[in-house]
Amino acid sequence: MQSPIKTLLALSFAVLSYAGPALALKPGDVTPPVSLTGPQGPVSLADLRGKVVYLDFWASWCVPCRKSFPWMGEMQRKYGAKGFSVLAVNVDAKPEDANRFLAETPAGFPIAFDPKAESPKAYGIKGMPSSVLVGPDGRVIATHSGFRDEDRATLEAAIATALEQVKP
């Protein structure tokens, strides 16, 4: 029987190979800090330490983001009580563009605004949306670029596997 860690790594590499090199970060890397302001006030990745976090970088002009937002909301509802959180970082230069998007495509998870796009630079983002699955220790589990309907099962499997590693 394969160990849970090996299963997690196998899923991580499956996500990486399927999506191509989404980000400069690799599994095991410590995530750069994210501390921004959102519609509900300050938002920090450090405040989510101890949880599995799906850190998503998005923009109002991003067509796949319109599909990923409902899915991320579903994941938040399904796994939130198990130690999971979505954190979505918007990179629009004007927050009103993000707010229009959010009025049409509501989020059921924390949103942060990064109008200078400093956090995507720190993560080596190459396209929108891009996501980083972060372990409770603040280390990268997996990265992914883009969002297609066929990505859903693979991404959810990576989340579920990561949550199995969280100690209550």
Residue 54 has a CB neighbour count (10 Å cut-off) of 28
Distance, C-alpha 15 to centroid of its chain: 13
Q: At what angle do helices 152-164 and 4-19 cross, to 10 degrees?
A: 150
pLDDT (0 to 100) of residue 150 = 95
Contact, 158 vs 142, CB < 8 A? yes
As given in the structure block, the two tokens for residue 92 are 């629009």
Please answer whether residues 101 and 88 qualify as being in contact, where contact means their C-beta atoms are separated by less than 8 angstroms: no
Look at residue 166 in the predicted model and tell me its pLDDT: 77
Q: Are 33 and 49 in contact (CB under 8 A)?
A: no
Domains parsed from the chain with CATH numbers? 4-164 (3.40.30.10)
User: Residue 165 — φ and ψ, nearest 5°?
Assistant: -85, -10
Secondary structure percentages of the chain, helix, strand, coil, to 5: 40, 25, 35
pTM reported for the whole predicted model: 0.85
Low-confidence ranges of the chain (pLDDT < 50): 1-22
Q: What is the pLDDT of residues 32-42, one digit of tens each?
A: 999 999 998 99
Which pLDDT does position 123 carry in this prediction?
95
Tokens of residue 143, six digits: 């990265």
User: To 5 degrees, how large is the angle CA 98–CA 66–CA 107?
Assistant: 60
Burial class (CB in 10 A: 0-12, 13-18, 19+), 157: middle
What's the confidence (pLDDT) of residue 116?
A: 95
Determine phi and psi for 88, rounding to 5 degrees. -110, 120
